[in-house]
């Protein structure tokens, strides 16, 4: 059997590879061959294949048969093409050696430059370049790189020598060392090398090359690289390729230089060359930042010809790759060389602009354009941003989780009440809490941004802030937040109420002091605060979401609880409400008092009714029940018109779009004040003893409230509350219909685990609804009311065929399904979940992106079983996952009808739903 071809040449003599051969040649090698093919000025060289690497590792570090011969013959060809000799004293061929797998990977060996230098060839280099110092500096750099990268001698040891010589010579910068000084450095490097390795530094270029190639091959199997592949589930790659390429020098005087550039602006997407360069410098110098690189536009003043060639290269590359490229170039004595090209990273702003521009330029089609926009960061388009310059001049404090994108700046407030008060005085406020709870909603709504010391990406603060589109930095663990005492500390810095701070929800950064905030252009246009004609960005945004809508199958709804949120969501393209949480409504203004009043007597009412039903001492019990019952009814009567107004407001905004309303879900204790002061206030307000209030709070306390007395369990044990909510929905719907506004309310029963729960709750809800309709002189057909359920308890998914018998629709609550399916308390998982992701147990936070392999099975099972009972069952999802692109892809695959997410994620979901279709086809 013939051995496969292990080495692929690229150069004017011959080019063996092309861009399709990434698996065999790695990304870098394939692109070098491709650029050579299309006539770009690439220094010639050759690529050793990933198969060679695989063989090398299979043979425990031996080269496979034929490899040496192939390298040797390709090296000869390279000598021929360059007219130089490898190890030649007069005209030495120097090469770089770089790894390059199909996917770039941390931990793998990087680069050795100037390989081929030794005491002999250095003279040839000096003569050839007429620059002895350059020659010695090149050798010094080569030794250091070779020693560090290939032989694993710690880099500091080399640095220490260099520093020592600089000190001895009393110079500040490397460049001030003379050729002789550098020779001294080289001598000491040799000693260091011998001491560490036990052998002299290899002077034979062939030995240098062999060792370097082996080091690249070996680095494929180093633990960090293996770990990275495991974590990223990269199992189909054989190994890394090795690129051996002729050295070109940018540091050969004022007519040489080096630079990096993008074919378009990676920050804005502007269609122009963007980048920087340094004359008389090597790549390292650009990175080191000792000299300030120049913007690429100024290159035309220095070398018009090269600049034009670069512009031409840009066009060729974009026409060829049909995407923005990130390239490295070197100018050697006036001649341009392209050393690398790859698809450039970009901000979402740039991605949007480029995608639309390239469609208009005819470079790409619409499907490609849609796939080019990173859905996960799409909603960054809608967030206000902190001014970069402002950030640099403010005092950096700490970094938390970038929980909700956007920048915000304002005065620190440490309680929700103070935040509301201060906002009421017209101040911009940042609400700072150890963690937030539903009691803080008012304060969060009033604040420009939210900062917490505890909680993860799906903590209450994070979820609510994302829902509001408000910037949030969560879980900034270094902060000590003392709400009671009204300050926070970060190390030595103390921030008191009213002190100005800024948070960057894009990065998680927190600053002390004023930082300017710029609003999102798109949001301004959507809100009518800016004309769409003034915003190029809006124009492109609306094109892209329009294209997405044409492609996607999944419907996109929103999770919204107020007319304001609903309005924003509709502007963002929501096709209805998938989750209207009724409990948030209870926190607004004074209504919390009515609700608390109800809670305080609810248990007593329930107890007495139970006794009456069991039929003992009816008269006396009925008398006892009168007091609590009238308080109970009074509270519900107070809440009814308020809820009705809420629903009416939402229905009017929706204009006939469906609205799924979830009945009361959280455990009652969440509505009661936890602190003794709040309890005293409540007691005073209600005219009962503080002990009475405290006893109720205590009795409602739960060990694991997530799995406690909540959801439909509340509705079944305190049915009057659900009755009131259903009545409010139907009364609101009737009001709207009167005015000719179409309405499609749907009642959703939460936390169902057993078909009987849904059956009882559904029957009762329909009874109330029909009663209201009758009161209003309407019939059931005037307002068809769908009653469905959340699927969020594993048992409901497991018995979805039974549950479907009672349901008009399913809506997955994937947050709770994840909590119960994985046994992860969302609020507590901080203690181990990050470790789990670090250990590679879970690839991603299952609360952020659905755990398709586990929790996803429950989703698939519920869809299958549900549709077995009712083939046309409407199924959606209303958990946070509804707006996360990977999850949206999963839901599309699982056959759901729609996803529902927070208003600011609606465009994300629209885009992701389209991408899901495109990916599958």
Task: Work out how close the CB of 429 gets to a second copy at its nearest, in angstroms, rounded to a whole number.
Answer: 27
- When asked if residue 842 is in the footprint of a second copy (CB under 8 A), the reply is yes
**8 A C-beta contact, residue 391 and residue 504:** yes
Question: Which range of residues in 83-91, 150-158, 704-712, 880-888 is near a second copy by CB under 8 A?
Answer: 704-712
Instruction: Give residues 17-56 in contact with a second copy (rule: CB under 8 A).
Output: none
Q: What would the two tokens of residue 167 be?
A: 């000190």
Task: Work out how close the CB of 799 gets to a second copy at its nearest, in angstroms, rounded to a whole number.
Answer: 6
Strands 274-279 and 257-262: antiparallel
Which of 69, 72, 839, 919 binds a second copy (CB under 8 A)? It is 839
Question: Which range of residues in 49-57, 374-382, 816-824, 889-897 is near a second copy by CB under 8 A?
Answer: 816-824
- When asked if residue 617 is in the footprint of a second copy (CB under 8 A), the reply is no
Instruction: Give residues 478-537 in contact with a second copy (rule: CB under 8 A).
Output: none
Task: Work out how close the CB of 432 gets to a second copy at its nearest, in angstroms, rounded to a whole number.
Answer: 19
CA distance 709 to 700: 9
Which of 369, 858, 863, 916 binds a second copy (CB under 8 A)? It is 858
Task: Work out how close the CB of 556 gets to a second copy at its nearest, in angstroms, rounded to a whole number.
Answer: 28
Task: Work out how close the CB of 403 gets to a second copy at its nearest, in angstroms, rounded to a whole number.
Answer: 18
Strand order in the sheet with 449-452: 395-399, 509-512, 500-504, 407-413, 429-433, 449-452, 472-474, 401-404
Which of 836, 867, 895, 917 binds a second copy (CB under 8 A)? It is 836
CA distance 267 to 883: 25
User: Which of 232, 222, 235, 218 is closest to 23 using CA atoms?
Assistant: 235
CA distance 744 to 657: 6
Which of 449, 821, 882, 907 binds a second copy (CB under 8 A)? It is 821
- When asked if residue 608 is in the footprint of a second copy (CB under 8 A), the reply is no
Q: Which of 261, 490, 580, 878 is catalytic?
A: 878
- When asked if residue 857 is in the footprint of a second copy (CB under 8 A), the reply is yes
Query: Of 292 and 704, which has the nearer Cβ to a second copy?
Result: 704
Query: Of 434 and 591, which has the nearer Cβ to a second copy?
Result: 434
Instruction: Give residues 790-809 in contact with a second copy (rule: CB under 8 A).
Output: 792-795, 798-799
Interface mask toward a second copy for 734-773; x: CB under 8 A: -----------------x-xx-xx--x-------------
Strands 429-433 and 744-749: unpaired
Q: Which of 53, 261, 409, 460 is catalytic?
A: 460
- When asked if residue 673 is in the footprint of a second copy (CB under 8 A), the reply is no
Residue 330's DSSP bridge partners are: 258, 337
Which of 363, 371, 716, 766 binds a second copy (CB under 8 A)? It is 716
Q: Detail the DSSP E strand segments found in 255-324.
A: 257-262, 274-279, 294-295
Residue 210's DSSP bridge partners are: none
Query: Of 136 and 891, which has the nearer Cβ to a second copy?
Result: 891
Q: What would the two tokens of residue 390 be?
A: 């402002």
Which of 543, 827, 869, 870 binds a second copy (CB under 8 A)? It is 827
CA distance 647 to 876: 21
- When asked if residue 107 is in the footprint of a second copy (CB under 8 A), the reply is no
**8 A C-beta contact, residue 329 and residue 261:** yes
User: Which of 725, 856, 875, 701 is closest to 794 using CA atoms?
Assistant: 856
Q: What would the two tokens of residue 856 be?
A: 């996803």
Task: Work out how close the CB of 376 gets to a second copy at its nearest, in angstroms, rounded to a whole number.
Answer: 23
Sequence-ordered list of residues with C-beta below 8 angstroms from that of 680, at least 6 positions apart, any chain: 690, 693
Task: Work out how close the CB of 754 gets to a second copy at its nearest, in angstroms, rounded to a whole number.
Answer: 5
Q: Is 472 a catalytic residue?
A: no
- When asked if residue 455 is in the footprint of a second copy (CB under 8 A), the reply is no
Total residues interacting with a second copy, rule: CB under 8 A: 48
CA distance 542 to 764: 44
Query: Of 330 and 814, which has the nearer Cβ to a second copy?
Result: 814
Query: Of 629 and 707, which has the nearer Cβ to a second copy?
Result: 707
Give Cα 515 distance to the centre of its chain.
24
Q: Is 709 a catalytic residue?
A: no
Query: Per 3-state DSSP, what percentage of the chain is helix, strand, and coil (rounded to 5)?
Result: 50, 15, 30
Question: Which range of residues in 201-209, 289-297, 311-319, 789-797 is near a second copy by CB under 8 A?
Answer: 789-797
Q: What would the two tokens of residue 584 be?
A: 């948030």
**8 A C-beta contact, residue 46 and residue 8:** yes
- When asked if residue 853 is in the footprint of a second copy (CB under 8 A), the reply is yes
Residue 338's DSSP bridge partners are: 329
- When asked if residue 713 is in the footprint of a second copy (CB under 8 A), the reply is yes
User: Which of 90, 140, 93 is closest to 120 using CA atoms?
Assistant: 90
- When asked if residue 855 is in the footprint of a second copy (CB under 8 A), the reply is yes
Three-state secondary structure string covering 131-172: CHHHHHHHHHHHHHHHHHHHCCCCHHHHHHHHHHHHHHHCCC
- When asked if residue 686 is in the footprint of a second copy (CB under 8 A), the reply is no
- When asked if residue 832 is in the footprint of a second copy (CB under 8 A), the reply is yes
CA distance 49 to 241: 5
Exposed e or buried b for every residue in 249-265, given b needs 16+ CB within 10 A?
Answer: bbbbbeebbbbbbbbbb
Query: Of 363 and 822, which has the nearer Cβ to a second copy?
Result: 822
Which of 677, 835, 864, 920 binds a second copy (CB under 8 A)? It is 835
Which of 1, 170, 289, 703 binds a second copy (CB under 8 A)? It is 703
Query: Of 219 and 566, which has the nearer Cβ to a second copy?
Result: 219
Query: Of 316 and 798, which has the nearer Cβ to a second copy?
Result: 798
Tell me the Ramachandran region of residue 596: left when phi exceeds 0, alpha when psi lies from -120 to 50, beta otherwise: alpha
CA distance 223 to 163: 32
Radius of gyration over every alpha carbon of the chain, rounded to an integer in angstroms: 34
CA distance 769 to 763: 10
- When asked if residue 879 is in the footprint of a second copy (CB under 8 A), the reply is no
Task: Work out how close the CB of 667 gets to a second copy at its nearest, in angstroms, rounded to a whole number.
Answer: 9
Which of 83, 589, 740, 831 binds a second copy (CB under 8 A)? It is 831
Question: Which range of residues in 49-57, 369-377, 628-636, 852-860 is near a second copy by CB under 8 A?
Answer: 852-860
Residue 472's DSSP bridge partners are: 404, 450
What's the farthest any 2 CA atoms get from each other in the chain? 117
Query: Of 88 and 670, which has the nearer Cβ to a second copy?
Result: 670
Query: Of 290 and 841, which has the nearer Cβ to a second copy?
Result: 841
- When asked if residue 708 is in the footprint of a second copy (CB under 8 A), the reply is yes
Question: Which range of residues in 306-314, 344-352, 378-386, 827-835 is near a second copy by CB under 8 A?
Answer: 827-835
The catalytic site residues sit at: 460, 878
Positions touching a second copy (CB under 8 A) are 702-709, 713, 716-717, 751, 753-754, 756-757, 760, 792-795, 798-799, 816, 819-825, 827-829, 831-832, 835-836, 839-842, 851, 853-855, 857-858
């Amino acid at each position: 059997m013939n051995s496969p071809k292990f080495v692929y040449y690229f150069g004017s003599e011959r080019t063996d590879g092309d861009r399709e051969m990434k698996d065999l040649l790695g990304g870098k090698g394939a692109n070098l061959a491709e650029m050579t093919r299309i006539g770009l000025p690439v220094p010639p060289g050759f690529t050793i294949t990933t198969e060679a690497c695989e063989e090398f590792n299979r043979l425990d570090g031996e080269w496979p048969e034929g490899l040496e011969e192939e390298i040797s013959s390709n090296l000869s060809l390279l000598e021929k093409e360059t007219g130089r000799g490898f190890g030649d004293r007069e005209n030495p061929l120097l090469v770089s050696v770089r790894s390059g797998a199909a996917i770039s990977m941390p931990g793998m060996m990087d680069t050795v430059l100037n390989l081929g230098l030794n005491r002999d060839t250095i003279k040839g280099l000096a003569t050839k370049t007429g620059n002895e110092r350059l020659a010695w500096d090149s050798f010094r750099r080569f030794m250091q790189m070779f020693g560090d990268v290939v032989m694993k001698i710690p880099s500091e040891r080399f640095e220490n020598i260099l520093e020592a010589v600089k000190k001895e010579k009393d110079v500040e910068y490397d460049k001030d060392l003379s050729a002789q000084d550098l020779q001294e450095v080289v001598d000491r490097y040799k000693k260091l090398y011998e001491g560490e390795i036990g052998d002299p530094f290899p002077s034979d270029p062939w030995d240098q090359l062999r060792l370097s190639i082996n080091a690249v091959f070996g680095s494929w199997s180093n633990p960090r690289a293996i770990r990275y592949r495991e974590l990223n589930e990269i199992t189909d790659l054989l190994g890394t390729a090795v690129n051996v390429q002729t050295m070109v020098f940018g540091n050969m005087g004022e007519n040489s230089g080096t630079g990096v550039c993008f074919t378009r602006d990676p920050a804005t997407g502007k269609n122009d060359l963007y980048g920087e360069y340094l004359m008389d410098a090597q790549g390292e110098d650009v990175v080191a930042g000792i000299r300030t690189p120049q913007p690429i536009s100024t290159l035309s003043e220095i070398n018009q010809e090269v600049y034009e060639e670069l512009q031409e290269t840009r066009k060729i590359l974009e026409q060829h790759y049909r995407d923005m490229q990130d390239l490295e170039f070197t100018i050697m004595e006036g001649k341009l060389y392209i050393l690398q090209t790859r698809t450039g990273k970009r901000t979402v702003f740039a991605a949007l602009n480029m995608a639309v521009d390239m469609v208009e330029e005819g470079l790409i089609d619409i499907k490609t354009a849609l796939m080019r926009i990173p859905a996960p960061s799409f909603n960054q388009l809608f967030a206000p941003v902190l001014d970069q310059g402002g950030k640099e001049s403010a005092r950096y404090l700490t970094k938390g989780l970038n929980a909700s994108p956007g920048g915000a700046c304002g005065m620190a407030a440490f309680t929700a009440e103070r935040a509301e008060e201060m906002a009421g005085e017209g101040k911009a406020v940042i609400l700072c809490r150890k963690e937030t709870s539903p009691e803080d909603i008012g304060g969060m709504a009033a604040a420009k941004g939210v900062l917490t010391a505890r909680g993860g990406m799906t903590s209450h603060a994070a979820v609510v802030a994302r829902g509001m589109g408000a910037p949030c930095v969560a879980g900034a663990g270094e902060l000590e937040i003392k709400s009671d005492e009204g300050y926070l500390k970060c190390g030595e810095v103390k921030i008191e109420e009213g002190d100005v701070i800024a948070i960057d929800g894009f990065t998680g950064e927190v600053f002390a002091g004023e930082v300017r905030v710029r609003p999102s252009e798109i949001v301004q246009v959507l809100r009518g605060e800016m004309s769409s004609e003034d915003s190029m960005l809006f124009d492109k945004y609306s094109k892209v979401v329009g294209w997405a809508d044409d492609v996607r199958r999944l419907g996109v709804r929103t999770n919204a609880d107020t007319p304001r949120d609903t309005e924003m969501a509709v502007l963002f393209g929501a096709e209805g409400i998938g989750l209207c949480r009724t409990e948030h409504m209870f926190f607004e203004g004074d209504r919390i008092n009515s609700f608390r009043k109800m809670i305080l007597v609810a248990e007593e009412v329930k107890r007495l009714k139970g006794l009456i039903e069991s039929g003992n001492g009816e008269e006396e019990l009925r008398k006892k029940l009168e007091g609590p019952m009238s308080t109970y009814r009074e509270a519900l009567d107070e809440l009814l018109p308020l809820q009705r107004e809420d629903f009416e407001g939402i229905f009017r905004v929706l204009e006939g779009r469906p609205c799924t309303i979830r009945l009361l879900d959280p455990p009652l204790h969440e509505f009661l004040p936890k602190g003794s002061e709040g309890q005293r206030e409540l007691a005073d307000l209600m005219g009962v003893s503080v002990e009475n209030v405290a006893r109720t709070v205590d009795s409602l306390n739960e060990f694991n409230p997530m799995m406690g007395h909540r959801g439909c369990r509340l509705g079944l044990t305190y049915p009057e509350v659900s009755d009131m909510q259903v009545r409010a929905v139907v009364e609101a719907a009737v009001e709207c219909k009167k005015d000719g506004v179409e309405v499609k309310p749907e009642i959703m029963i939460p936390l169902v685990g057993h078909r009987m729960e849904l059956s009882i709750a559904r029957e009762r809800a329909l009874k109330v609804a029909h009663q209201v309709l009758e009161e209003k002189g309407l019939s059931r057909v005037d307002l068809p009311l769908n009653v469905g359920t959340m699927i969020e308890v594993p048992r409901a998914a497991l018995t979805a065929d039974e549950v479907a018998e009672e349901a008009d629709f399913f809506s997955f609550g994937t947050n709770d399904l994840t909590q119960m399916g994985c046994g992860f308390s969302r609020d507590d998982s901080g203690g181990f979940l990050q470790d789990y992701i670090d250990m590679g147990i879970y690839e991603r936070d299952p609360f952020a992106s659905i755990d398709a392999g586990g929790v996803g099975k429950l989703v698939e099972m519920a869809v299958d079983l549900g549709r077995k009972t009712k083939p046309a069952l409407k199924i959606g999802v209303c958990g946070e996952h509804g707006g996360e692109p990977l999850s949206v892809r999963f839901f599309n695959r699982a056959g759901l009808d729609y996803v529902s997410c927070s208003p600011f994620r609606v465009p994300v979901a629209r885009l992701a739903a389209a991408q899901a279709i495109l990916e599958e086809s």
